[in-house]
Chain A
Amino acid sequence: MSGHEAGDAPAFGAALAVLGLRCAVESRAGLAVMAADAAQLAALVSLESRRQVLALARQHGFTHVAVELTAQPAGVRAPLLRD
């Protein structure tokens, strides 16, 4: 996609898991695409959660993080993010 240096998707994914977000991460150079299910997406609604994820992403070489919107059943309870 670009000549810009890629982030470390496996390490970012592992860091997200520690936060309680277990999802696959696809690296597209500086962009990380998280494959979140409905529960994980719900966990990202809060500003504080997103700040945590963005900070982790920066630590692992990503300038941008996006969460993929897939067809998911609604109504799943959100996991709690851990400090």
Chain B
Amino acid sequence: MPRDAGSRAADKEIALAEWLVARGRVAIGFSGGVDSAFLAVVARRALGADGVLAIIGRSASYPVEQWAAARRVADEFHVAVLELDTAELADPRYAANPSNRCYFCKTELWEKLVPVARARGYTTVVDGTNADDLRDHRPGAQAAREHAVASPLADLGFTKAEIRERSRALGLPTWQQPSSPCLSSRLPYGTSVTVERLAQVERAERALRDLGIEGDLRVRYHDDLARIELSPDALEAWLAAEPSARLAAAVRGAGFARVAIDLRGFRSGSLNVLHGVSVA
């Protein structure tokens, strides 16, 4: 990032700390991803140990590896954590997997998280939505607004690149972590979300990570077929005969009858494009 852009990001971090201090005690909807980890660490530095609580909502749609990473970041930076179980899969409106599925998930999350936070004296609840997210298909943002959840990163204009840059400066291990949306994002809209399907996708992605794949990776669920999206930079190596055979074996081992590799490679919101929710 150029020096002036880096300076702007640093200025935004100062503004974020001031914003947090003005709120007093803050609870964060915490996934351990790039954005919420950055927000939690800045809050910890600005507000002290008693001023911030990172709250994790756990369910079958939240990858176990993501949970473990979240706990590691919280431990390393001394951020207090509370875990709640969420039950979005029990909501038939969510399980039917409409294009506004995220709204029902976030409604379940905030309905449980906000009262718990307020009961513990955390008067402000925030999430890690950033300015780039506002340009994407994000029906969950409506649920945040309905529950008075603030999005200071977005409000202060933090882009994802700026959050990564400042995360690096703060020594956060998440600075170059790939984005990690929930596992339900691997299922096309209209394909019902079940614990079994989410577990199948999670097994397949873990098997591919075990092959040494780093960076962006998704296993998209198409009934009997798994469609693998890799970082475009990695495609050439993995399309060769022997590596592709290992990919296929790993994903078949996770329970998919058929395995295919996407020729364009990873793109965020890929299934939104497939369904015409976003443009290609």
Which residues of A pack against B, CB within 8 Å?
Answer: 1-5, 28-31, 33, 38, 41-42, 44-47, 50, 53-54, 58, 63-72, 74-75
Contact of B274 among A2, A50, A75 (CB under 8 A): A2
Report, as a range, how many residues of chain B touch the other chain.
20 to 34
Contact of A4 among B242, B260, B264, B275 (CB under 8 A): B275
- Contact mask B217-233 → A, CB, 8 Å, 1/0? 00000110101100000
Chain A's nearest CB lies how many Å from the CB of B18? 44
Chain B interface main SS type: mixed
Please provide the 10 A-B residue pairs with the shortest distance between their CB atoms, ordered closest to farther.
A66-B260, A69-B248, A74-B241, A68-B260, A65-B263, A45-B239, A30-B274, A66-B262, A69-B259, A66-B227
- With the chains together, A33 CA to B203 CA distance in Å? 23
Contact of A64 among B240, B241, B245, B273 (CB under 8 A): B273
A residues less than 8 Å from B242 (CB atoms): 74
Check if B190 sits within 8 Å of A1, measured CB to CB. Answer: yes
Chain B's nearest CB lies how many Å from the CB of A63? 5
Which residues of B pack against A, CB within 8 Å?
Answer: 188-191, 222-223, 225, 227-228, 235-236, 239-242, 244-245, 247-248, 258-264, 270, 273-276, 280
Most buried by A among B189, B260, B264: B260
B residues less than 8 Å from A5 (CB atoms): 276
B residues less than 8 Å from A30 (CB atoms): 273-276
Chain B's nearest CB lies how many Å from the CB of A69? 4
- With the chains together, A28 CA to B170 CA distance in Å? 45
**Residue of chain A at shortest CB distance from B225:** A33
**Residue of chain B at shortest CB distance from A70:** B248
Most buried by B among A2, A31, A64, A74: A64
A residues less than 8 Å from B260 (CB atoms): 33, 66-69
A residues less than 8 Å from B222 (CB atoms): 1, 28, 31
A residues less than 8 Å from B275 (CB atoms): 2-4, 30
From known contacts A30-B274, A68-B260, infer whether A47 and B236 are also in contact, taking CB-CB under 8 Å.
yes
Check if B225 sits within 8 Å of A64, measured CB to CB. Answer: no
Check if B263 sits within 8 Å of A66, measured CB to CB. Answer: yes
From known contacts A46-B236, A50-B235, A66-B227, infer whether A1 and B191 are also in contact, taking CB-CB under 8 Å.
yes
Check if A74 sits within 8 Å of B245, measured CB to CB. Answer: yes
Check if A65 sits within 8 Å of B264, measured CB to CB. Answer: yes
- With the chains together, A70 CA to B270 CA distance in Å? 23
Contact of A75 among B241, B248, B261, B264 (CB under 8 A): B241
**Residue of chain A at shortest CB distance from B246:** A69
